[in-house]
Structure 1
Amino acid sequence: MFTCCYTLLSAILWLAALPFLLLFSFKKKYRRSIPARFFLWKNPPLREGGIWFHVCSFGEARGVAPLVERFAPELRRMSATTQTGFESIASLAPEQSRYLPFEPLLWLWVKPQKALVVMEAELWYLLFTVAKRRGAPTFLINARISDRSWPGYRRFAWFYRRIFARIDRIFAQSEKDRERLEALGARNVEVTGNIKLAQRPQPTRQLPKPEGYLVCAASTHEGEEGAVLEAFRELKALRPEAKLLVVPRHPERFDKVWRMMESFAKLQAWQARRFSQGESLEADLILMDRMGELINCYAISDLVVLGGAFEPIGGHNAVEAAQFGMPIISGPHYFNQEELFAGIEGITIAPKEELAEVLRYPKLLEPTRLKVRGDALERIEKEIRNVL
C-alpha cells in the first residue's frame, strides 16, 4: 500500500513539475540531464544481468571507481544523478552508463540485475524497492549521516525505516554512522571507513632522498610560498641540515616562485636549485618544476606543509600524503576537503601567521594515519561476489 501511494504521489509531483522541467531543460547545464532523467530521452534501460553501481556526483563516482574496476567490464552497469557524476562514470562503463530516472519512471526502466550497489546517501525509496522486486540484492556502501543531516533523518525516521528495510547490506564510514543508521532501522551494518581514502596514487619512480630533514611544501598557491619560506627559516635555525622542497600547484607559476626562492636563498646565504636542472635535491631550497612528481616527493618527505588552505582556496587532497604516515600541516581553509580530512588522524591545522611556530618543532607533530580498513575494498567486493 505504501509503495503504491508513494509512486502515485511521485507521479503527481512529476506531472506538476513538467512546465518547469521543460523550461530548465533549455539551459545548458541541464540540457542533457533533465531530458534523460525525467523523460527517458536517450536514456535506455541498463542491460540486465550486471552489477549496478549508482552514485550521485563526481566525488562519489571517483570514490567508487577502485571498487568498480575490480569487476569485469561486461558486468558493470552504472548510473548517476548529476551531470558531473554521469561524465565521471562514462569511462568506467562506456556502453552501460546512464542517468538515474526520476523515481516513478523506475518501474518502466529497471531491468533485473545481479546486485544494486549504491554509494553514500542516495536513499531513493523506489530505487531500492524496484531493484529488489526485480531480484537484485541491495547494498549501501560508504554510508554516512552528517551532523548537519542527522536531525532531518530523525524527523523522518518513519520513512527511512522503510528504505532501510529494503537494503540487505550496509558498509558505513564510522562507528557514529553505524549507530545512526541502526537507529533508523538499518540492518547488517559494518564499519569499513571512508573508501574514498582507498583511492591512493602510488609513486611512479624513486626520487633520490637528500641528506637531512626534508620538508615538502605541496600544491602551494599565491601568498603561501612566502609564509612557508619564512617559517622554514625558523626551522633551519634549529636544524641546519633541513631542506625545503616547494611544489607549486600550477606550472605557470614555476618561474615566479623560483625568483622568490632564489632571492630568499641569497638573503640567507643558502643554495637554491630547480629540480629540472640536474634532478638533484641536494640544496637548501628546491623548486619541483616538473609535473606529475608530487606523489614521488611525498614518498621521500619527512614532513608536508599542504597548500591551498592557508589562503581561502578550499584545500587539497591530504590522503595522497597521509598514506606515507608523515606529519602534515594544513591551513584552516580546507572547506572543499572536509570529508577527506575527517578520515585522517593527526593533521595539524594552523593559520598562516602561526606556521613558523608550528614548524619550528616538528618532533611535537603527530604522524598521520588514514581511518580506513586496509581490506575495506576487498571486504565489500567479497560480499558483492557472494550474491552473484
Structure 2
Amino acid sequence: MNRPYRYCWHHFIWRWCYNLVLILLLPFGLAALLLKSDNTEGKRNKNIERFGFIGRPKHNGILIHCVSVGEVNAAKSIIQRLQLSYPDVPITISTTSTTGAKQAHAIFKDSVQHMYLAIDIPVCMWLFFHKLRPKLVLVTEVEIWPNMLHQCYRRKIPAVLINARMSSESVKTYQNLAYLFRPSLRKFSRICTQGQQDFENFLSLGVYKPNLMQSNNMKFDLEADPQDEIKAEQLKLQLSLENQPVFVAGSTHDLEEKACLDAFKKLRVSHSQLLLIIVPRHPHRFEKVTQLCQATGYAVVKTSELDEEPLHVLPDIVVVDAMGMLKACYHLASFAFVGGSFAHKGGHNALEPALYGVPTMMGPSIFNNPVICHALADAGGLKVLSQATQLSETAGSWLNNPEEAISLGQASKKVIEQNRGAINQTLDVIAEVMEEGAPH
C-alpha cells in the first residue's frame, strides 16, 4: 500500500515562487514559440496546445507523457500493451519536442491522441487537465513538473513515474530545491526506477519508500522491428552496399560529427572500402552536417537524394536526413558510435546497436543511462572512451579482428536478453494503481 502525500502550508509558498519565475520567463518562451511552427499533421501550428488549448480530446483515458524521441521509443512497447489490455480506454501521448511528436505520430498514427504538454504555469496546466480529464497519468523517466503534479493531486488522478531515472548529478540540483520538488515527488502514487542507484537517489530526495519500486529499465525490453529490417534492406539496395564494413555514427551532436570524420579519415588509410553513415540527432542540423562532410572532399550522399535505382558507385559518406532511420542503419553497421557522449548530453541509447549485435563506442558522458552502459561495458560490447582520438584506435582493432568484433557484439545482445522484464513489472504496478483508484 502506498503512502499518500500530505499537504503543508509552506508547499503552497514555494510552488508560487516557482510560478512567479515561470511567469517572468513567459514572454521569452512565447517569442521562441512564435518563431517556430509545427506542421506535424500538415494542418495548423500545434504550438497553441502548449498553452492548454487542446481542442476537444477524448477524455477519461490514460495520459502518457514522453519528452522526446528517446522516451517515445522506450514507451512504445508499454503503450502497445496498454492498448491491448484496455482497448476501450483512450490513450493520449503528450510530448515536449516536435521530434517526439513526429515520432509518436509515425509509430502510432491515429490509434492514439497526440498533443503537446502545456507549459507548467497554473492556468495553462489547469486548462490542459480540464479539457483532457485523464483517469491515470504516466510520466516517463525524469519529468517532474510541480503544477502538473499538483493538478493530478487536486483532481485525484493517480500519477506514476515509469522507467524513472535520477542521476547523482541531478540529485544535487533537486536537493538544492528540495522545498519545491520533494512535495512534487510525493504526489506520484508510484515511482518505478530503472536501477538500484536510481531507487536510492529518489529515496534520498524524500520519496516515501512504499511508493518506490525497482522495475529495471524498460529500454532492455527493446524489440527488433520488422519495419527497420525492411528499411535497412532498402537502404542497402539503394547504396549498392555488399560486404563493405560500415561505421554508423548515431544520434550525433555538434563536434561529434567532426570527431567521427577524423576517425574515418585515419581508418580509410588501411580500410579503403569503409563506409561512414552519420545520423544527426536533430533535424535542424541535417544541412550543416552535410556541408561538414562535403568539406572533407569525400563523396557524400544524403538519404533524401536516393531513389529506387541503385547507385552505380558507393559513396564514402552517407548523411541520414530523415527521422526514423537510426535502427535501420544500426542493422547495417559493422560497428557504431552513439552520440551525446562526447557532447556531454548524457549519451543516447546504446541498446539500439546492441539489439543487432553491433560493437559500440561512446564518450565519457553516459549519465542518462549509466546502468545500461555499465552492463554493456562489463560484457565487453561497449567501449567507453575518454577522448575522441580513441575512436580510430578502437574501431581499427575491430576492423582488423572482425571475429572478435562479432563476439563482442553478441555479448551486448545477450545483455538485453538477460535483463528483459521491466515492462511486465511496470504494467503490474499500473494495474494495481488503477485498482486502488485515486489517492486521498
Tell me the TM-score normalised to structure 1 length: 0.67
Matched, 1:192 2:215: yes
Query: 1:237 matched to which residue of 2?
Result: none
Query: 1:343 matched to which residue of 2?
Result: 372
Q: Distance in 1 between matches of 2:332 and 2:31?
A: 55
Shift of 1:50: 0.6
Q: 2:167 aligns with which of 129, 135, 146?
A: 146
Matched, 1:27 2:58: no
Q: 1:109 aligns with which of 121, 128, 131?
A: 128
Q: Secondary structure at the match of 1:122?
A: coil
Change in CA separation of 1:200 and 1:226 when aligned onto 2, cut-off 3 Å: farther
Q: Distance in 1 between matches of 2:328 and 2:143?
A: 36
Matched, 1:70 2:97: no
Higher Rg: 1
Query: 2:63 matched to which residue of 1?
Result: 52
Q: Secondary structure at the match of 2:81?
A: coil
Tell me the TM-score normalised to structure 2 length: 0.60
**1:154 is aligned with what amino acid?**
Q
Which structure 2 residues correspond to residues 165-244 of structure 1 after superposition, within 5 A?
Answer: 165-186=186-207, 187=209, 188-202=211-225, 204=229, 216-219=245-248, 222=261, 224-225=263-264, 227-228=266-267
Q: Distance in 2 between matches of 1:175 and 1:248?
A: 36
Q: Distance in 2 between matches of 1:8 and 1:329?
A: 46
Query: 1:378 matched to which residue of 2?
Result: 424
Shift of 1:381: 2.1
Q: Distance in 2 between matches of 1:21 and 1:307?
A: 34
**2:361 is aligned with what amino acid?**
S
Shift of 1:158: 3.8
Shift of 1:355: 4.0
Which structure 2 residues correspond to residues 244-323 of structure 1 after superposition, within 5 A?
Answer: 248-249=277-278, 304-307=334-337, 318-323=350-355
Shift of 1:119: 1.0
Change in CA separation of 1:325 and 1:44 when aligned onto 2, cut-off 3 Å: same
Shift of 1:189: 2.3
Query: 1:330 matched to which residue of 2?
Result: 361
Change in CA separation of 1:308 and 1:183 when aligned onto 2, cut-off 3 Å: closer
Percent identity over paired residues: 21
Q: Distance in 2 between matches of 1:43 and 1:352?
A: 49
Query: 1:269 matched to which residue of 2?
Result: none
Matched, 1:352 2:396: no
CA contact (8 A) 2:66 2:94 kept: yes
CA contact (8 A) 1:37 1:101 kept: yes
CA contact (8 A) 1:53 1:117 kept: yes
Q: Distance in 2 between matches of 1:128 and 1:224?
A: 46
Change in CA separation of 1:330 and 1:127 when aligned onto 2, cut-off 3 Å: same
Greater helix content: 2
Could you give the per-residue CA deviations for residues 213-254 of structure 1, whole angstroms, max 9, x where no partner exists?
Answer: x99534267555554455669xxxxxxxxxx8857458x99x
Q: Distance in 1 between matches of 2:177 and 2:21?
A: 19
CA contact (8 A) 1:318 1:341 kept: no
Q: Distance in 2 between matches of 1:155 and 1:83?
A: 31
Query: 2:305 matched to which residue of 1?
Result: none
Q: Judge which range, 76-85 or 311-320, deviates more.
A: 311-320
**1:110 is aligned with what amino acid?**
F
Q: Distance in 2 between matches of 1:322 and 1:360?
A: 20
Query: 1:97 matched to which residue of 2?
Result: 115
Matched, 1:37 2:56: no
Q: 1:129 aligns with which of 139, 144, 150?
A: 150
Give unmatched runs, 5+ long, in structure 2.
Answer: 1-8, 39-43, 234-242, 250-259, 280-289, 301-309, 436-440
Shift of 1:356: 3.5
Shift of 1:117: 0.4
Change in CA separation of 1:14 and 1:341 when aligned onto 2, cut-off 3 Å: closer
CA contact (8 A) 1:217 1:307 kept: no
CA contact (8 A) 1:79 1:97 kept: yes
Shift of 1:139: 0.6
Query: 1:162 matched to which residue of 2?
Result: 183
**2:66 is aligned with what amino acid?**
V
Change in CA separation of 1:364 and 1:21 when aligned onto 2, cut-off 3 Å: closer
Q: Distance in 2 between matches of 1:135 and 1:227?
A: 60
Q: Distance in 2 between matches of 1:296 and 1:78?
A: 24
Query: 1:368 matched to which residue of 2?
Result: 412
Q: Secondary structure at the match of 2:93?
A: strand
RMSD: 4.8
CA contact (8 A) 2:195 2:371 kept: no
Q: Secondary structure at the match of 1:69?
A: helix
Shift of 1:37: 2.8
CA contact (8 A) 1:53 1:76 kept: yes
Q: Distance in 2 between matches of 1:364 and 1:321?
A: 16
Change in CA separation of 1:115 and 1:140 when aligned onto 2, cut-off 3 Å: same
